[in-house]
A = this chain, B = another copy of it.
Amino acid sequence: MPLNNVESLFAASLQEADLSEKQKAVLRASLTLFADKGYDRTSTADIARLAGVSEGTVYKKFKTKREIFEAITAPFVDQVLPTAAGEFFQEIAGTAFPDFRSLLTFAVHDRIVFGLTNRRELKIFVQEIVSDPKMFSMLAARVSRLFTQGLAPLFKQFQDTGELVRWDAVRIGRHIISTVLAYVLPSVITGTASMDAEQATQEIVAFLMKGLHP
């Protein structure tokens, strides 16, 4: 079963050519602090200190503190989620899943690993979603589209074989996502990685296979 190859999404975005070493340090420090204390409770002085640069340097590439935030989260929402979804599809398209359980097992495990790997970015993201309803709505719409457009045909295939209940794709997606999040979010929020991805996958799949059975 192929593993998620976008493990270090943020690290990848740090490779971008137009960022000096110090700018990257700023991003890294911001990521740490935003995740630890939240955006509002992190000062630009904090960032400069942890990054080991001057306060002026923080503002050389990024015009505002908000821009730093976006440099961290925008890739996440604009590229990473779709990209991840894209790769996800390619995996799915490239692999002939013999049954729904195989697909579910792969998908759940993949997303758990993704979530744990990008734990800190995810936490920043979650904090913002909870504070900013617009961001939540945007994300919800995007995920809805992913299910209604991208995944619906796949679901139909398993619904036709009698392996998947004939609910609409969004409802199915909602059940899957909430079940996965129930295992991933505690690690994201507490910042600990103490989770057995294999065991979690087993438990989730066992529950979902029954819950989503026709």
Contact = CB atoms under 8 A, between A and B. Distances in A.
Contact of A130 (B127, B174, B181, B208): B127
Interface in A73-109: none
Contact of A175 (B37, B126, B179): B179
Contact of A133 (B41, B191, B208): B191
A182 B174 contact: yes
Contacts of A66: none
Chain A: interface secondary structure?
Answer: helix
Contact of A189 (B41, B130, B183, B207): B130
Contacts of A11: none
Contacts of A211: 207-208, 210-212
Contacts of A38: 40, 131
Interface in A164-214: 165, 171, 174-175, 177-179, 181-183, 186, 189-191, 203, 207-208, 210-213
Given A207-B211, A210-B210, 15 more contacts: A37-B131, A38-B131, A40-B40, A126-B130, A127-B130, A127-B131, A133-B189, A136-B190, A174-B182, A175-B179, A178-B181, A178-B182, A179-B179, A207-B212, A211-B212
